Structure 1
Amino acid sequence: MAISSSLPVVVHPPVRSISLPTREHPSSIQVEALLNHLKSCQFSLVSTPVRFAAETIQTGLVGLADLYTCLEEFITQQALLPNGHGNVVLVEEALDGSITLLDTCNIAREILLTMNEHVQRLQSALRRKGRDSSIETSIHAYISYRKNAKKEIIKCLAALKRMDRSNINSSSPLLDLDHQPSMVAKILRETSTITISIFRALLEFLSVPATKTKAGGWSMISKLMPIRSSSSSEKEKKIGNLVGGLDFALYSLVGNLQSTDTRAEVEMAQRMLETFSLTSEGIVGGLDCMFRCLVQHRVSLLNILTQ
């Protein structure tokens, strides 16, 4: 499944940068720069080949963490004093959305950590050159977890879609850039939209479906993955998304376990498992940082509301 096909288009052609009033706090310049950088990251998710999506997502998470860190200084020092109904509405909207973003961030992190636990078990089994049945069992456990995790991913995607629709249809009257609270409203909504987009890309990256078989079980794998029809390197050229590519490698391996020579399939599976392990480690690190930023963002909004 190509990530680009379902990502929300959150910028309006022709592309324009976010330009904040020059009289505003100097931190607005940094916020503007970070927002524009993250918009370029969104375009990369659409235009970059899916095999590089993981790197782009990781870059996006790092950029988001920087943005939220800068945003804290901006909104607390500059604009969100609760001196009117409009400001209260703005903070409440941001608070509502923060729950969805926190839940999504945490669920994505837990899914990645659990997937990586399965990957480590598979790596251990392959290093020990365990029995075919133990390898098959480990692969089956990994794929089964991925199918279960997809149910959680679908729920998260639906929640993000509702949040995005709410941002677009918001009736809050804070869009006049001649007034500072209106400028902050725009920044918060831009930040929310970009965060939703990158989280959606991550979830879709994780939900690439495993190869399906009509008969179920592993009996059809050998039919789906020809035993000696191509080399490991040729198969790897067909791999797009990393998660889907790992499925491909594992199915190819289990489909050839009865062969007298599975070196090519084992090598491909080991490479894909190692790549996934390293990639997931980087993404989990980004999600850890994002979770802390989102918690702090929510605390700041609550503090502003109770001032």
Structure 2
Amino acid sequence: MAIESMTGFAREARTVATHAFAWEVRSVNGRGLDVRVRVPPGFELFSEAARKQMSAAFSRGTLHVNLAITSAAAPARPRINQEALAALVEAAATVSLPAGMAPASLDGLLAIRGVVEIAEEAEDAAAALEKPVLAALERLVASLKQARLGEGLALETVIGGHLATIARLTGEAENHPARSVEAVKARLAAQVAALLETGNALDAQRLHQEAALLAVRADIREEIDRLHAHVTGLRELLAQGGPIGRKLDFLAQEFGRESSTLCAKAGDPGLSRIGLDLRTTVDQLREQVQNVE
């Protein structure tokens, strides 16, 4: 199964009789799945259908879905909300007016919001468009899926490149001459000699213990083993595919921790350079995996 990006765009448009409609969806990164749908007034039934189909097809990303509908039929005509007007007239009749104040006029009542509605026969249009709009919605979901899969294929190539670099740098750190027993002994001997030159009285046994502790702390074997394990784990996830973005992000964080610890323990300019290159590559890796579903 291939991995899928959270970014993509799709559009489906069609004309049916006197109506033209167009679905558009734009998908961007998100921590979870957030489907935001906009449809014209009177066509709310398509909003729920869009939300349901997008939620079934995708598991992560912020999806902005928009349906636009235009009509070449007769223009919209005003319609009076008789119930609202009657309620206003009844309410106005119960008001005692101050001297000199004229009672409410019809034009004043009609100017109140909600009394006059400007709308076309949306119910009839929705019924006529239901099948073609829902069919186009299915195609829209499929088109977005393909767009996100295409982006995912490109992401997999980039992530694989970063992973190969991390594996190479880990191998270089593992085989670096500064990790040899002789090199470690030489660094410790130099540190001990510098301490002895201070002229302070030092307990030989305590000095030996401290030197042994320094040697343990300077060993990066554990970090190298973890880096190798994370490389293997990430490769297995990529081979598995599917919605693995959160797992990839977790592994990227683990890569960051191990590379930072390696830098702190390096104690050698050459190892430090490898550690810094590792951290840079890990940062680049993490930027990319945050786009994966």
Q: Considering the TM-score relative to the shorter chain, is it more than 0.5?
A: no
Q: Which has the higher contact order (CA 8 A, sep 6+)?
A: 1
More helix by percentage: 1
More strand by percentage: 2
Q: Return the TM-score normalized by structure 2.
A: 0.31
